[in-house]
Amino acid sequence: MSTFPISFLGGVDPASGTILDPECDSEGENISGKVFCFPFGKGSTVGSYAMYQLKLGGHAPAAIINDSAEPIIATGAIIADIPMVDGVDVSLLRSGDLVDVDADEEYVELPDVVEKHVVTSIVKSKGKLLLLRRSDKVGSYRGQWAGVSGFIEPHERDDEAARRELAEEIAAEKIRIVRKIDPLRFRDKGTIWCVHPFLVEVKNTKIRIDWEHRSFEWISPDEIGRFRTVPGLQQVISRLIGD
């Protein structure tokens, strides 16, 4: 697993399958017989033949997963007969993951990782954003700061879930959904959180929190860095209000 682009020419030892690139965060790891995940390839087109050398020496990866395929890696995968799948957010993968890859069907599965769909509403009023500090009674992220969040129930639309959670957690029923963006995914250990973000506006800053939270604060957007937040909250806020 590498979060950096890889050149197979000079970046991987063809005689052993060990990553040599000193700029790579996986320098020293061996990719022989493993599913090798990295964003995309870089460097000379000779890298395709370096992949073929790995195959001839018995040190090729079992499969390759990329964010985006480019000619060097795609060509190398073809001539070395290495299964390859692209269009995958490799930031959600971790070294040591058990990965099932089917290049023919173009899918990647992580048997030991679960995906959970949640809504997160960022509540805005008079230029301030609402942060809620999670109580000790909740099952996860105790004491951390969040938006108005909750699981999406089976057969429930995400906007329905957002309105339900707003009513339950802060007793807000008169709300206006200002913006909704595509879901964002964040990895935390064995869970991938698929977050459905909403920007919601309310007129009244006086709210009533439920048992899931111990306190709340109205903050300016630039203050978010002061708080220990649940995974991905700062990115959600940036995407919702930053464009």
219-234 burial string, b = 16+ CB within 10 Å, else e? eeeeebeeeebbbbbe
Q: Is 19 exposed, middle or buried (0-12, 13-18, 19+ CB in 10 A)?
A: buried
Q: What are phi and psi of 28, to 5 degrees?
A: 95, -15
Residue at token pair 């919601």: 200
Beta carbons within 8 Å of 211's beta carbon, 6+ residues apart: 135, 137
The secondary structure of residue 210, as a DSSP letter, is -
- Catalytic residue, from 44, 91, 95, 140: name it: 44
CA distances from 112 to 81, 109, 117, 166, 189 (A): 27, 9, 17, 32, 10
Q: CB–CB of 29/46 below 8 Å?
A: no
Pick from 63, 55, 9: which is nearest to 34 by CA? Answer: 63
Residue at token pair 């990647």: 108
Respond yes or no: is residue 2 known to be catalytic. no
Query: Which sequence positions are flagged as catalytic?
Result: 44
